[in-house]
Amino acid sequence: MSAALSVRDLVVGYGGAPVLHGVSFDVDDGTVVALVGGNGAGKTTLLRTVSGLLAPSAGTVHLDGRDLARVGVEDRVRRGLAQVPEGRGVITELTVEENLRLGGLWRRDPAGLRAALAEMYALFEPLERRRTTLGHQLSGGERQMLAIARALVARPRVLLLDEPSLGLAPLVVAQIMRTLRELCDRTGLTVLLAEQNVAGALSVADRGLVLGLGEVVASRPAAELAGDEALRHAYLGF
């Protein structure tokens, strides 16, 4: 299996001591990798570096074998790397449909864009009923679905998700996780999913990557990690 995303020896900080101290891992094509770890472990920093929002002081990120060092955020999106940020980033003054169309801004195929919107409404049914509703009138779960759907409209190869379960009811979280899994199985989408909801993330992931204070402390099949009590106690707090 080939790596869709390949991260090597990444060192990243915010001016002071580095937050990530040489992080390396692969995300294989068509798989879901859960990125877990306690508060402040560096999950958001890692995702922001992969998406190009933060520049590493050392190390590399490759997408489908191509070095992204000189590729800016927008070009990374064009090359198939989409990020759903923590806090969701839905534009609250726009309707559901307008938000979705924003996700397709780079696309040059109107018919493909129409098909992508229809696919998102089929995938996230609550959004279809809310097509003309403004972002600020949506529930937390609907906003999260919209943020994910908007990223998917660009038809990414790799989707980076930062804590999609934050503040959502367990049933909504389960629905979102299930939908992501279905998408990967059906379309070959690759997902890197940062989560504090470790059990939820590991339940849909193929592999789990545990980050402990800026270092990868474990990278294993998700089921195996979920069953490792010592590791869970040491790094994941349950």
| Binding site residues, ligand ATP, CB under 6 A | 14, 19, 37, 39-45, 196
Q: How far is the CB of 191 from ligand ATP (least distance, A)?
A: 17
* Tokens linked to 106: 């780079």
Q: How far is the CB of 14 from ligand ATP (least distance, A)?
A: 3
* Tokens linked to 212: 């402990």
Q: How far is the CB of 1 from ligand ATP (least distance, A)?
A: 27
Whole-angstrom distance, CA of residue 133 vs CA of residue 137: 7
> Hey, is 157 helix, strand or coil?
coil
Nearer to ligand ATP, 25 or 121 (CB): 25
Q: How far is the CB of 59 from ligand ATP (least distance, A)?
A: 15
Please compute Rg for the chain using Cα positions. Answer: 17
**Strand partners of residue 81:** 158
Q: Is 70 exposed, middle or buried (0-12, 13-18, 19+ CB in 10 A)?
A: exposed
Nearer to ligand ATP, 163 or 206 (CB): 163
Count each helix (H run) and each strand (E run) in the chain, helices first.
10, 10
Nearer to ligand ATP, 37 or 141 (CB): 37
Nearer to ligand ATP, 41 or 61 (CB): 41
